[in-house]
Amino acid sequence: MDKKLVEQITSRDEDFAKWYTDIVKKAELADYSSVRGCMIIRPYAYAMWEHIQGYLDRRFKETGHENVYMPLFIPESLLEKEKDHVEGFAPEVAWVTQGGNEELTEKLCVRPTSETLFCEHYAKIVQSYKDLPKLYNQWCSVVRWEKTTRPFLRTTEFLWQEGHTIHATKEEAEEETIRMLNIYEELCREMLAIPVLKGQKTESEKFAGGEATYTIESLMHDGKALQSGTSHYFGQNFAKPFEMQYLDKNGKLQYVYQTSWGITTRIIGALIMVHGDDNGLVVPPRIAPLQVIIVPIAQHKEGVLEKADELKEELSKIVRVKIDDSDKMPGWKFSEHEMKGVPIRLEVGPKDIAKNQVVLVRRDTREKIMVPMSNLCDEVPALLDNIHNSMLKKAEMFIKENTHNAVDMEEFKAIQNNKKGFIKAMWCGDARCEEKIKELTGATSRCIPFNQEHISDNCVCCGKKADKLVYWGRAY
Amino acid sequence: MDKKLVEQITSRDEDFAKWYTDIVKKAELADYSSVRGCMIIRPYAYAMWEHIQGYLDRRFKETGHENVYMPLFIPESLLEKEKDHVEGFAPEVAWVTQGGNEELTEKLCVRPTSETLFCEHYAKIVQSYKDLPKLYNQWCSVVRWEKTTRPFLRTTEFLWQEGHTIHATKEEAEEETIRMLNIYEELCREMLAIPVLKGQKTESEKFAGGEATYTIESLMHDGKALQSGTSHYFGQNFAKPFEMQYLDKNGKLQYVYQTSWGITTRIIGALIMVHGDDNGLVVPPRIAPLQVIIVPIAQHKEGVLEKADELKEELSKIVRVKIDDSDKMPGWKFSEHEMKGVPIRLEVGPKDIAKNQVVLVRRDTREKIMVPMSNLCDEVPALLDNIHNSMLKKAEMFIKENTHNAVDMEEFKAIQNNKKGFIKAMWCGDARCEEKIKELTGATSRCIPFNQEHISDNCVCCGKKADKLVYWGRAY
C-alpha cells in the first residue's frame, strides 16, 4: 500500500485523464464495482459529500425548503405525461420489469430525476393559494444509463439533491430559480474554492421539458468546462399535463409555476480537476474530512508522541485533526497525506519541542511556516482561511488567463487549436450556428452569462447581427 | 382541509388498522404513490427521520464508523455467492432487465440489502491485519417486493442505514454486534421514548446467511410486537465465498469475521403505534419537528401577535417553535396540532399578557400549566424532558401490564384469546415446537431475551426439558 502511494502518479500535463483516475484511486475516493458504470464512494470522498450536504441543507432550510422522500420507481405511463421530458430521458433509463417472481404488467423506470413524481404529489396536496408555495427538496441517488462513464463525472448512478417547487406566480418561481442558482455559486466559492460562471443555457442545451435552464460552469485544469449545477424554470409546462391547479383568492382555478434545481456528486470531480496537482489531491479546507494531519518527527524519542497528542487534543476543539503515529517513515507519511490533499501538515519533533514551536506545511503551496505552540489555536484556523482564499484566487486567475475572445471562426478555431479554456464570442441566437460551431470545433455553448459584454457586432459563426455574448468550450 | 382534520379519526380501540392509516394521512406523514407499495415520506415524517439519522450518525461516528455509498444494483451472480443469502432474498427482489434501449446480458437486482457489495469491496481493499477493522455504514433506500404493504411498517421501498463491519477476531465482531444493538436500544429509549426488549432471534427467525441475529422488539398499543432493529453476527459465512482474507501478524492468511446491522423508517410506524391516541399522533419531544406551537388567543387584539412573536423569538434559541397565526379559530388550531402530536401548545391571549403568563398544554396528558413569561426558557425545556420521561414510563408500564407467563399450551392459547401482548414461555430449542406454536396461535418467537428467567422446567409446547425463556407474540 505505502509503496504504491509514493510511486509517482501520472503527470497532470502529460495525460490529464490518467492523472484523474490515478488520483481517484490513490487518494481512495472511489472504487469500481461489478456493475458497469456504478461506483463505490469511499469514506474519504463521502465525507466531503457530507460537508457539501451539510452546507446546502442548511441553506435550503434557511430559505424555507423542506426535505421529503419520493419513490425510487416511476411507472412508464407517469414518465410519459410530459412529452419533451420523456423524450429527453427515456433513452437513458434503467427499467425494472420483474418483481420477485412476477412479470410486471407495467414496467417501472428507476428515477433519472423526479419531476413527474413531485408533480403527481403536488397535484394531490395543493388546493388553494394558501397551500402555496411548496418548497420541497430530496437527497437521493438517480440512475442514467450512460455508455461511457468516469468516476464522479459521469456514472450510471450518482448522488444528488433535487429541489422541486411550485408557486402562485411566474415572478416568484423565477426568483426561486435564481435564488437557488446563487446558493450553488456560493457553495462553490465559499466551500469548494471554485469560481464559477453564471448564466443561462441556450434552447438546445436546456432541460427536457423546461422553459429556461440556468447553470454554473467551472473550468478544469485541462481547459474543459464542467457544468456544475443547474436550476430550471418550468413555467406551466408540467402544471398543465399534471393538472397542478389551485384556487386563487377570487376562487378561480389557476395553474402553478414550477422550478427544479440540482447539484450532484459530480462536483467532487470538479474539485479534483480544479485544485489537484502532480502530488495528488488538494482538498479545499472547508470540506476537508481532515484539515490538519500531525506527523511526529522522531516519534520514538521521549515526549514526542505525548506532545503530539496534547496538540491534537487542543486542536480537535476547533478543526478536524488526526495524528499519524504509524510506524512508517515521516517521508512516506508526507507523501500519503499530500496525495490525499490534507490542507495542513503539522510536524513536531524534539527540536521543535525544545523551541516550543511546530512546523506547519501548506498543501497548496508547500510553504513551511514556523509557529509558536502557544499561538496554534489562532494560527491554524487563520491559515485554513488563508489557504481557502488563495486556492480561490488561483482558480480565478486560471479562468481569467484561459478565457479568450473570438470575433470570427478563424479566430475561434485558432484559439481552439493553440490555447485552452473558455471562448467568449457573440451569437445571433440561431441554433444552426451553435450546431455548426460544435461540428467545426467540438465546443458547445456553455452559457449566456448574466454579466453580458459587447465584444463585437456580429455572430461569430454566420456574421449576422448579434447581441448575445456566449461562453463556449469543450466540456465534460 | 381544516374540516377533515377535526373530523373524528377512527377510534384506536375500535379499529386499530384504520386508526393507523387515518393518522398517517391526517398528520401528513406519508402519501401513497402510483407505484404499488412505495410511499412518499412527507416533510413532517421526513423531519423525524432526520432527527433519528442525526442521533445515530453521531453515535456511529463516535464509535469509529465511516459512511460510504455502494451501488443501487447487484448483479445476479454476485447475489448468488452466498447460498442462504440468495435463497432468503431472491424471491422478493426487483429486477432490472433493460438499460436504455438495450436488453441486459445479466439482470441486476435493486439492492434488498448490501452484504454482497460490501463483501466484494472489502475483499479488494483489505490485505493486512493493519487494515482491520473496517467499520462502514451507509444511509440509503432498499427494495423488497412485498405482497401486502402498509406505510412505514412494510413498504416495497424503505429508507434505512446498514452497517457492515469486518474484524480480525470473533470476539471483536461479536462485541461490535452487541455494541450496535445497544445503540439502537438507546435511540429508542432516549429519542423515541420507546422501551424495547433485547435478545437473540431463534435459528428460524435469523438473517439469511448469518450466524446469529440480535433484535430489539417493541410492543404496539394493539398488543402486537414490532421488530425495531437488528444486528447480525456472520462469523465467516460470507468471508469464505467472497474470499475476504488478510495476512495476520505472522504472515498467515486468515478469514475475517463480519457483522451487519440496520434500522429503518419502520421505526416511525412504531412511534405512531406506541404513543398515538384518539386525538392523533403524539410525537416524542426529542425528535419532534416542532416542539412548541404557539397559538395566539384573540389574535386580532392589540399586542397579542407582537407578544407571541416575542415569545417565539426567545424560545427559538432553545427549542423548535412556530406560531400559528392563520385565520382559523383557536379550537381548530388546537385540533390540528393535536393531530400532528406537537408536544407543547403555548396559548397566549390578552388575559395572559395582563398577568404576564402563558398557558402550556401537554399533548401527552392534555394537562394545562400556567407559567410566568419570565420563566419560559427554563420551564419549556424542562417540560419537554418531563413529557419524554412520562411517555417512556407509560410505555414501560404498558409492556409490563401486557406481558404474561404461560407454562403450557392451554394457558398460552387462553392468553392469546383473552389478552394481548407478549407471552413469556420456556422453549426446548426445537424448531418444530416453534412452528407448532405459530400454527396453533399465530404467535412467533420474538426473541430469547438477554435477561433470562426460569419460569418453569418444561417446554411450553412439547413438555420436554427446557432451559430457554422465549418471548412470543403476534407481530407486524
> Which residues of chain B have a CB within 8 Å of the CB of A136?
43
Residue A342 belongs to what domain range?
286-387
- The pLDDT-based confidence of A6 (bands split at 50, 70, 90) is low
The per-residue pLDDT string of chain B (476 residues; one tens digit each, 9 = 90 and over) reads 344 445 679 999 999 999 999 999 999 999 999 898 999 999 999 999 999 999 999 999 999 999 999 999 999 999 998 888 888 888 899 999 999 888 999 999 999 999 999 999 999 999 999 999 999 999 999 999 988 899 999 999 999 999 999 999 999 999 999 999 999 999 999 999 999 999 999 999 998 889 999 999 999 999 999 999 999 999 999 999 999 999 999 999 999 999 999 999 999 999 999 999 999 999 999 999 999 999 999 999 999 999 999 999 999 999 999 999 999 999 999 999 999 999 999 999 999 999 999 999 999 999 999 999 999 999 999 999 999 999 999 999 999 999 999 999 999 999 999 999 999 999 999 999 999 999 999 999 999 999 999 999 999 999 999 999 999 999 99
Please name the member of A70, A95, A117 whose beta carbon is closest to the beta carbon of B97.
A95
Most confident of A6-20, A364-378, B71-85: A364-378
Contacts with A446 (C-beta within 8 Å, 6 or more apart), sequence order: A197, A199, A215, A217, A225, A227, A422, A470, A471, A472, A473, A475
**pLDDT tens-digit profile of A200-217?**
999 999 988 899 999 999
Cα A391 from Cα A362, distance rounded (Å):
11
Picking from A69, A129, A141, A142 by the largest number of B CB atoms within 10 A of its own CB, the best residue to mutate is: A69
pLDDT value at residue A2: 44
Residues B234 and B333 in one domain: no
**pLDDT tens-digit profile of A291-341?**
999 999 999 999 999 999 999 999 999 999 999 999 999 999 999 999 999
pLDDT value at residue A309: 97
* Complete DSSP assignment for B76-130: HHHHTTSHHHHHHHGGG-EEEEEETTEEEEEEEEEPS--HHHHHHHHHHH--BGG
Pair B40, A68: CB distance under 8 Å: yes
Q: List the one residue out of A60, A36, A242 whose CA is nearest residue A143.
A: A36
Residues A96 and A208 in one domain: yes
Residues B378 and B303 in one domain: yes
Residues A306 and A240 in one domain: no
What percent of chain A clears pLDDT 70, i.e. is strictly above it? Answer: 99
3-state secondary structure of B183: helix
Q: List the one residue out of A383, A320, A316, A309 whose CA is nearest residue A353.
A: A309
CB contact under 8 A, A35 and B96: no
SS3 track for chain A = CHHHHHCCCCCCCCCHHHHHHHHHHHCCCEEECCCCCCEEECHHHHHHHHHHHHHHHHHHHHCCCEECECCCEEEHHHHCCCHHHHHHHHHHCEEEEEECCEEEEEEEEECCCCHHHHHHHHHHHCCEHHHCCEEEEEEEEEECCCCCCECCCECCEEEEEEEEEEECCHHHHHHHHHHHHHHHHHHHHHHCCCCCEEEECCHHHCCCCCCEEEEEEEECCCCCEEEEEEEEEEECCCCCCCCCEEECCCCCEEECEEEEEEEECHHHHHHHHHHCECCECCCCHHHCCCCEEEEECCCCCCCHHHHHHHHHHHHCCCCCEEECCCCCCHHHHHHHHHHCCCCEEEEECHHHHHCCEEEEEECCCCCEEEEEHHHHHHHHHHHHHHHHHHHHHHHHHHHHHCEEECCCHHHHHHHHHHCCCEEEEEECCCHHHHHHHHHHHCCEEEEEECCCCCCCCECCCCCCECCEEEEEECEC
| CATH code for the domain of B469 | 3.30.110.30
The verdict on residue A298 lying in a domain is yes
> Which residues of chain B have a CB within 8 Å of the CB of A74?
35
Q: List the one residue out of B111, B27, B52, B471 whose CA is nearest residue B279.
A: B27
Run of H or E including B3:
helix B2-6
Q: List the one residue out of B191, B164, B192, B168 whose CA is nearest residue B180.
A: B164
Cα A200 from Cα A220, distance rounded (Å):
20
Please name the member of A35, A49, A124 whose beta carbon is closest to the beta carbon of B108.
A35
Residues A380 and A444 in one domain: no
Grid coordinates representing B171 are: 470476539
> Which residues of chain A have a CB within 8 Å of the CB of B324?
none
Pair B166, B258: CB distance under 8 Å: yes
**pLDDT tens-digit profile of A92-140?**
999 999 998 889 999 999 999 999 999 999 999 999 999 999 999 999 9
Which residue, of A336, A355, A387, is where some domain finishes?
A387
The verdict on residue B393 lying in a domain is no
pLDDT value at residue B4: 47
Residues A412 and A380 in one domain: no
The pLDDT of residue A5 is above 70: no
With CA atoms as reference, the chain A residue closest to B158 would be A71
CB contact under 8 A, A41 and B69: yes
**Residue A154 CB neighbours (<10 A):** 16
Whether residue B133 is preceded by a cis peptide bond, meaning omega within 30 degrees of 0, is yes
Q: How many domains does chain A have?
A: 3
The verdict on residue B91 lying in a domain is yes
- Smallest CA–CA distance, residue A409 to chain B, in Å, is 37
> Which residues of chain B have a CB within 8 Å of the CB of A156?
99
CB contact under 8 A, A40 and B140: no
Sign of CA dihedral A202, A206, A210, A214: negative
> Which residues of chain A have a CB within 8 Å of the CB of B125?
31
Residues A134 and A194 in one domain: yes
Phi, psi of B327 (to 5 degrees): -90, 20
pLDDT value at residue A161: 98
Cα A420 from Cα B198, distance rounded (Å):
64
What are the residue ranges of helices labelled H in B316-447? 330-339, 350-354, 376-401, 409-418, 431-441
The verdict on residue B395 lying in a domain is no
Place of cell 402519501: B31
- Smallest CA–CA distance, residue B452 to chain A, in Å, is 39
| CATH code for the domain of A21 | 3.30.930.10
Distance of CA B353 to the CA centre of its chain: 42
Distance of CA A225 to the CA centre of its chain: 12
- Smallest CA–CA distance, residue B12 to chain A, in Å, is 26
Q: What distances in angstroms separate CA A405 from CA A124, A377, A424, one per listed residue?
A: 51, 47, 5
Cα B224 from Cα B220, distance rounded (Å):
5
> Which residues of chain A have a CB within 8 Å of the CB of B136?
43
With CA atoms as reference, the chain B residue closest to A147 would be B100
Residues B304 and B179 in one domain: no
CB contact under 8 A, A96 and B93: no
With CA atoms as reference, the chain A residue closest to B75 would be A35
The verdict on residue B364 lying in a domain is yes
Q: List the one residue out of A114, A93, A374, A385 whose CA is nearest residue A238.
A: A114
Residues A130 and A175 in one domain: yes
Please name the member of A34, A67, A71 whose beta carbon is closest to the beta carbon of B43.
A67
Please name the member of B67, B97, B110 whose beta carbon is closest to the beta carbon of A50.
B67
**pLDDT tens-digit profile of B169-188?**
999 999 999 999 999 999 99
Contacts with A180 (C-beta within 8 Å, 6 or more apart), sequence order: A163, A231, A259, A261
pLDDT value at residue B110: 97
Pair A471, A445: CB distance under 8 Å: yes
pLDDT value at residue A254: 98
The verdict on residue B232 lying in a domain is yes
Please name the member of B33, B75, B97 whose beta carbon is closest to the beta carbon of A35.
B75
**Residue A370 CB neighbours (<10 A):** 10
DSSP conformation class of B285: G
Specify the range with the lowest mean pLDDT, choosing from A115-119, A145-149, A251-255.
Answer: A145-149
pLDDT value at residue B7: 64
pLDDT value at residue A286: 98
Q: What is the ipTM of this complex?
A: 0.95
> Which residues of chain A have a CB within 8 Å of the CB of B46?
66-69
The verdict on residue B3 lying in a domain is no
Residues A302 and A324 in one domain: yes
Residues A165 and A30 in one domain: yes
The verdict on residue B319 lying in a domain is yes
The pLDDT of residue A469 is above 60: yes
> Mean pLDDT for chain A?
96
Residue B80, Cβ density class (10 Å: 0-12 exposed, 13-18 middle, ≥19 buried)? middle
Contacts with B238 (C-beta within 8 Å, 6 or more apart), sequence order: B82, B85, B115, B116, B119, B209, B244, B258
Q: Which long-range contacts (CB under 8 A, 24 or more apart) does B388-395 make?
A: B388/B193, B388/B284, B388/B285, B388/B286, B389/B193, B390/B364, B390/B365, B391/B193, B391/B275, B391/B282, B391/B284, B391/B364, B392/B189, B392/B193, B392/B194, B392/B195, B394/B364, B395/B193, B395/B194, B395/B195, B395/B274, B395/B275
Pair B176, B169: CB distance under 8 Å: no
Residues A371 and A408 in one domain: no
Which residue, of A232, A249, A275, is where some domain finishes?
A275
Residues in chain B: 476
Which residue, of B383, B411, B443, is where some domain finishes?
B383
